[in-house]
């Protein structure tokens, strides 16, 4: 099954951030929303929900835990305990709530820049202080993380797979990270929202699956929202694999779970239970789009560095050789009328970079690269 993107004229009828943040002459390739239609199993489940008028408060996370456990075993060989899954509104909320439980005000929290821009805000929201341990040669610097924990940091906020690079962390690096956390009594919160988007040949490794230390000191926060385009439905999962981790989740106020959208809950269950065929089609489309992007850049913008991501539909573009300054996304928007994410929002090492969303139609991608090339 190949999943084709929606026509541009239909997409412009959407009211989401991607299609309302900029005027119609701008090609929006920034925020992480895909241009594909919803999977049929999700559509069908939501129609049934509406027909029943089933629009009340969410009840138990049990069905979601079972659905995700089945998905995790089929795709990654990870056998998790469904009874240790809890629901919340979205991954950012889950991260903030877990951090509140595992750090004290003023404690250091390690992030690994360039990394998802809201991580720093979430650390601050939970009362922590950011301790930036940048990636080294495009990989986790576990020795530097260990040193930061030895110096007093109390948690690590991990992007797995890593946004914006699309990096799938190796089992060996994750084991080393877990060992460092256990050695210093620090928690690891693993954001695994892009896990289902790992491409063939790049095996995603769930953090909680790698070792006893990871299970003891880790909590995973994830969602169907990126892989199945459900960000606005507001449902995410918090997963524990030990009594320590479960105590973190069950120590939260009950409202954390009850704020979950019942619509998002059912959409997520449908995605994890019956969405495999659709997801495989989307991964095929993304693989083609990534190859097209590489070819277009080589032909029209050879100065731009691009390493195809192993997971996700987000391209991390090195635009420093264009001479567009620390924020090339500004020129891209003002001159080319293409909206990209500024690299600087991902940390100081993002200067001269921009993030591009290639989960779009080929003609949109071609037009965007042509516009950027003309703006040189």
CA–CA distances in Å: residue 104 to residues 101, 243, 347? 8, 20, 24
pLDDT digits over 296-321, tens only?
Answer: 999 999 999 999 999 999 999 999 99
Alpha-carbon gap, residue 182 to 339, rounded angstroms: 42
Largest CA distance in the chain: 57
pLDDT digits over 35-54, tens only?
Answer: 999 999 999 999 999 999 99
- Say what the pLDDT of residue 2 is: 79
Spatial CB neighbours of 309, under 8 Å, sequence gap ≥ 6 = 161, 165, 166, 167, 199, 290, 315, 316
- Token duo for residue 262: 């019942």
Alpha-carbon gap, residue 220 to 197, rounded angstroms: 16
- Say what the pLDDT of residue 42 is: 98
Residue ranges of the chain whose pLDDT lies below 70: none
- Say what the pLDDT of residue 289 is: 97
Q: What are phi and psi of 216, to 5 degrees?
A: -75, -40
Alpha-carbon gap, residue 343 to 86, rounded angstroms: 33
Q: What SS3 string covers 177-198?
A: HHHHHHHHCCEEEEECCCHHHE
Q: Dihedral sign for Cα 276, 278, 284, 288, please.
A: negative
- Say what the pLDDT of residue 1 is: 76
Q: Go through 196-218 and write b for each residue having 16 or more CB atoms within 10 A of its CB, e for each that does not.
A: bbbbeeeebbbbbbbbebbbbbb
Alpha-carbon gap, residue 89 to 274, rounded angstroms: 22
Alpha-carbon gap, residue 213 to 88, rounded angstroms: 25
Task: Report the DSSP beta bridge partners of residue 110.
Answer: 131, 156
Q: What is the CA radius of gyration of the chain?
A: 20
For residue 101, give the 3-state DSSP assignment.
helix
- Token duo for residue 52: 């029943």
Alpha-carbon gap, residue 313 to 288, rounded angstroms: 11
Q: Dihedral sign for Cα 308, 322, 117, 151, please.
A: positive
Q: How many residues does the chain have?
A: 376
Alpha-carbon gap, residue 25 to 96, rounded angstroms: 36
- Say what the pLDDT of residue 61 is: 87
Closest CA to 355 of 367, 343, 364: 343
């Amino acid at each position: 099954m190949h999943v084709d993107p929606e026509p541009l004229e239909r997409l412009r009828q959407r009211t989401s951030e991607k299609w309302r943040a900029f005027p119609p002459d701008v090609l929006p390739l920034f925020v992480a929303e895909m241009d594909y239609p919803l999977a049929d199993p999700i559509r069908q489940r939501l129609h049934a929900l509406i027909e029943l008028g089933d629009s009340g408060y969410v009840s138990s996370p049990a069905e979601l835990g079972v659905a995700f456990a089945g998905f995790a075993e089929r795709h990654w060989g990870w056998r998790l305990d469904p009874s240790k899954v809890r629901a919340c509104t979205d991954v950012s909320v889950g991260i903030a709530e877990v951090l509140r439980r595992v750090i004290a005000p003023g404690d250091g929290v390690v992030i690994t820049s360039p990394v998802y821009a809201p991580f720093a805000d979430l650390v601050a929201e939970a009362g922590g202080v950011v301790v930036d341990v940048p990636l080294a040669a495009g990989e986790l610097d576990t020795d530097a993380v260990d040193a930061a924990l030895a110096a007093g940091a109390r948690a690590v906020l991990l992007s797995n797979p890593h946004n914006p690079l699309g990096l799938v962390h190796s089992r060996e690096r994750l084991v080393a990270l877990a060992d460092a956390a256990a050695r210093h009594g620090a928690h690891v919160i693993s954001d695994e929202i892009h896990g289902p988007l790992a491409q063939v040949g790049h095996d995603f490794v769930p953090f909680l699956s790698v070792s006893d230390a990871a299970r003891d000191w880790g909590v995973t926060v994830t969602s169907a929202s990126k892989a199945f385009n459900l960000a606005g439905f507001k449902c995410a999962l918090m997963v524990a694999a030990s009594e320590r981790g479960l105590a973190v989740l069950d120590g939260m106020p009950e409202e954390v779970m009850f704020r979950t959208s019942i619509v998002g809950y059912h959409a997520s269950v449908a995605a994890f239970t019956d969405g495999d065929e659709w997801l495989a089609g989307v991964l095929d489309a993304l693989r083609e789009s990534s190859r097209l992007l590489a070819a277009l850049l080589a032909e029209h913008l050879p100065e731009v560095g691009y390493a195809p991501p192993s997971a996700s539909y987000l391209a991390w573009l090195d635009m420093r050789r264009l001479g567009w300054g620390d924020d090339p996304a500004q020129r891209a928007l003002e001159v080319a009328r293409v909206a990209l994410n500024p690299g600087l929002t991902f940390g100081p090492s993002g200067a001269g970079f921009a993030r591009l969303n290639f989960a779009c139609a080929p003609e949109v991608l071609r037009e965007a690269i042509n516009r950027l090339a003309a703006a040189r």
